[in-house]
Structure 1
């Protein structure tokens, strides 16, 4: 009960604050648009306005809060996963002003990113001032984001779910759902009290009556996935390969992006309502069936270009509104072409615009549930739920790991926030048989201790199963040998020093149970035996084997994500897992693993070409390899200095 009472107070405060902030930002955006696109165009050509706005916004961003550049939503996601939910206090103000200038001057961006970062920033600031725990600060930050989205888009339920869904590609932050819903509802109530409850868009009468239409909605979802992948690829390629390589001050780059928008205005003067700002003017025309299919096809690519010029260059604005426009145009194109060839089945192509809006954003943002609800609430239409569900899930599934929010991680298990609490679940899902060494080196009871010591020097393994006539009879380790005088090693046999009171495991035991056994008993390895015959040796499992399995499991997300750290924690106390990337000209490129002078006991995994491997000594390091290293805590700093991490 205390939980509900506490979060009711927090959610009420953050909801009211988010609603007021949404009203202020909406006012600033309107004032900015009026100034730049109405007053200023009386003396300056419209094609020049985005350049001026880009220069102003760039100066404000990079002078006062560089983290306010770009979409905003991604910055909030990154703060949740990597920064304990902390957003600098100046960011909300800088983000609001810079975004109002960017969008008002014609930059192709939307309100979602700015209001998400502004409201989340206020939530973070509140959490810090109240001295909340890191967990509670993250929750109140998510609640702020949900309330901001729910308010400005008049979508309370969709906004609440967006906040807890957008953090992951395939998961929800369920711990924040109650505060997110409460704050979103309150923020929405405050906003519509002053702005009115009318939906954002007006739609024609859309109904789903013919089951055969589902095929065309499935086709729409597939098309949205293809265009979405291209959009994400182009967006980040332009950022990484063009804008970030420009040798000009960062604050100038949004102005260069503005030049690109100016060129689009010159070439397509009749489509400026879809190119400039959010692009809602053209989208509204498409929803009412008043936009030609040729215009919609042009706008698909013009909006992708305009959004890339604006946001990838470092301008400030969200990607939600442009995604709706792109998706709406894709939907309109598919609907119109389907109507031309199959008029008896597809009777109202404008309905495809609405479904395209949701399914495209579902695919590129990984929010299949929130996008259905948000579009339904923004249009006031709930009559196309079945087509929405089908198109959404197809676009979501087909885009796989592609996402416009590069700070997203796939699941809670992959998040640094939850990684420690999820170690148990990771290792519980992996069985001993998946990690054990199937061909262990064994010794005979009649071998000398000198022979065992030679094996230790040769292989680096500190323990060996003792096998007689195919049966496991003991285990001998370096510690056992050390108990015997060195001068007696040539005479003493393994059977004189080996441990015969065996502790073993079997192939179907979860690694978590095995790890606890190793740690609690302070031993380094366990023989793996047949469950029915405990004397039949099947393999051996060491702590190193467990770490390798853990690295592979935790590194899986890196194959499909951009710029997200693979792992930065270890399941074994006193150890660390970290990552080194061999970017262009890194000194490791071309070196063999055996050439890297690392301390003993280090474990390396390499992520390369969508695969994770444990390298051998002859493995050659290549450019863009992601080297995941397991080491003791006290060696990490030295290794990082040596490798140049």
Structure 2
């Protein structure tokens, strides 16, 4: 029997569209503002304190420990795990404004005074908290914003997407990532399309406030020939396995700090001293911007000192997350994958460096976070590609290798 939609059907559809456009307009604006505040705050701290005072990491470590211990313990760590747990369980977030303040402060201090960090994970939690805060405000004003548990989940996802889209310069990829990271083997369209709206509005407002390019990097990727495909598959396999090694190292560090029988303050001081000692031994002023990701596309890394510094930056980022500082693992997974692709060039010099780096970062990110579709779209948007074969190969193979073990603890099989 053929379904013939009636007037009631179209009314529901129009109300649904109107509701989520309005919600995402609000979340997109607030998400863009929050991202700008964190970026401006961390930049100010880097320029005025981090570069001028050698002991700033210790000060930062103490400040973050105070926030975690006395104000809000949820402000520690990745942020992504809590985002997944709260969003999928439909549990009342509780004190969402407090969480927004504490997580934003901890993230800004980690980046600005520790010199290492990342924003993807923290922004997922901050953005989803913005969605919950909007719900509290509308409830107080007697405005019925949502009507089901599904709406509550979608609201949380839209808030997360509204901060991720502008951060990555990827209006499509930000929404897909905020949705896909919740699940291990499925994708819910009820979540996806509103999330893409939130990500797109966030991107629009962010670039209205700050009309400069985000992460968008034009690398002019050459097309892969038929003879290159099998080598690219091999490279993707290698980088997918590197992603799993990445997770194992991170889990080892995380378990080490969890089993360390000492206070949060002692853990923080230990990490700050390790960070300072490393900088002193290597005679470098800062780990901030040691190597931008586009540098991996320029030429193979032959400077052993630079290579050592980049690897240490990756390990130290894992260290500060394990110790409870507010940072992101996704950011450093991209750097790790790009580095792996760059180094593999020495074994496969017949392949263009650009291809190897793209396959490397795609496979590693997909392996670490279990987000193959988001990886394809994000990498294509960030590097101005047209869903090229290397991106697809890296994303799918990395996902297949990493599927048994993702870095985020709360991803479940659904």
| TM-score interval, normalised by the smaller of the two chains | 0.7 to 0.9
Match for residue 31 of structure 1 among 23, 27, 44: 44
Quote the offset at 1:10 in angstroms: 1.1
How far, CA to CA, are the matches of 2:347 and 2:59 in structure 1? 39
Match for residue 359 of structure 2 among 345, 348, 355: 355
Q: Does residue 103 of structure 1 match 2:111?
A: yes
How far, CA to CA, are the matches of 2:389 and 2:306 in structure 1? 24
Q: Does residue 142 of structure 1 match 2:142?
A: no
**Matched residue, 1:397:** 400
Match for residue 129 of structure 1 among 108, 133, 137: 137
Quote the offset at 1:367 in angstroms: 0.7
- Once the two structures are superposed, the pairs formed by residues 267-306 of structure 1 within 5 Å of their partners are 267-269=281-283, 276-277=287-288, 279=289, 281-289=291-299, 291-292=301-302, 294=304, 298=308, 301-306=311-316
How far, CA to CA, are the matches of 1:259 and 1:230 in structure 2? 26
- Once the two structures are superposed, the pairs formed by residues 13-412 of structure 1 within 5 Å of their partners are 13-40=26-53, 44=54, 48-84=55-91, 86=93, 88-89=95-96, 90-131=98-139, 132=146, 133-200=148-215, 202-240=217-255, 242-269=256-283, 276-277=287-288, 279=289, 281-289=291-299, 291-292=301-302, 294=304, 298=308, 301-339=311-349, 343=350, 346=351, 348-379=352-383, 381-382=384-385, 385-411=388-414
How far, CA to CA, are the matches of 2:42 and 2:83 in structure 1? 21
Structure 1: 5+ residue runs without aligned partners? 412-645
How far, CA to CA, are the matches of 1:266 and 1:212 in structure 2? 47
How far, CA to CA, are the matches of 1:285 and 1:134 in structure 2? 45
Quote the offset at 1:389 in angstroms: 0.6
Q: Secondary structure at the match of 1:336?
A: coil
Q: Does residue 12 of structure 1 match 2:16?
A: no
1:61–1:95 CA contact under 8 A, matched in 2: no
Quote the offset at 1:163 in angstroms: 1.0
Quote the offset at 1:280 in angstroms: 6.8
Quote the offset at 1:267 in angstroms: 4.3
How far, CA to CA, are the matches of 1:203 and 1:49 in structure 2? 35
Would you say how many aligned residue pairs link Structure 1 and Structure 2? 393
1:228–1:360 CA contact under 8 A, matched in 2: yes
How far, CA to CA, are the matches of 2:135 and 2:184 in structure 1? 26
2:224–2:390 CA contact under 8 A, matched in 1: no
Larger strand proportion of the pair: 1
**Matched residue, 1:428:** none
How far, CA to CA, are the matches of 1:378 and 1:50 in structure 2? 31
Quote the offset at 1:405 in angstroms: 0.8
How far, CA to CA, are the matches of 1:208 and 1:91 in structure 2? 46
How far, CA to CA, are the matches of 1:397 and 1:150 in structure 2? 25
1:261–1:309 CA contact under 8 A, matched in 2: no
Using a 3 Å threshold, how does the CA distance of structure 1 residues 334 and 295 change in structure 2: closer, same or farther?
farther
Using a 3 Å threshold, how does the CA distance of structure 1 residues 147 and 239 change in structure 2: closer, same or farther?
same
Task: Spell out structure 1 runs of 4+ moving beyond 6 A.
Answer: none
Q: Encode CA deviations 1:187-220: one digit per residue, 9 max, x unaligned.
A: 1001011222424154543212422222232222
Quote the offset at 1:399 in angstroms: 1.8
2:379–2:385 CA contact under 8 A, matched in 1: no
1:58–1:252 CA contact under 8 A, matched in 2: no
Structure 2: 5+ residue runs without aligned partners? 1-13, 140-145
Quote the offset at 1:180 in angstroms: 0.7
Q: Secondary structure at the match of 1:329?
A: helix
1:71–1:311 CA contact under 8 A, matched in 2: yes
1:164–1:174 CA contact under 8 A, matched in 2: no
Larger radius of gyration: 1
Quote the offset at 1:184 in angstroms: 1.0
Using a 3 Å threshold, how does the CA distance of structure 1 residues 33 and 219 change in structure 2: closer, same or farther?
farther
Using a 3 Å threshold, how does the CA distance of structure 1 residues 59 and 107 change in structure 2: closer, same or farther?
farther
Using a 3 Å threshold, how does the CA distance of structure 1 residues 2 and 384 change in structure 2: closer, same or farther?
closer
How far, CA to CA, are the matches of 2:371 and 2:182 in structure 1? 9
Across the aligned residues of Structure 1 and Structure 2, the Cα RMSD in angstroms comes to 2.3
Q: Secondary structure at the match of 2:347?
A: helix
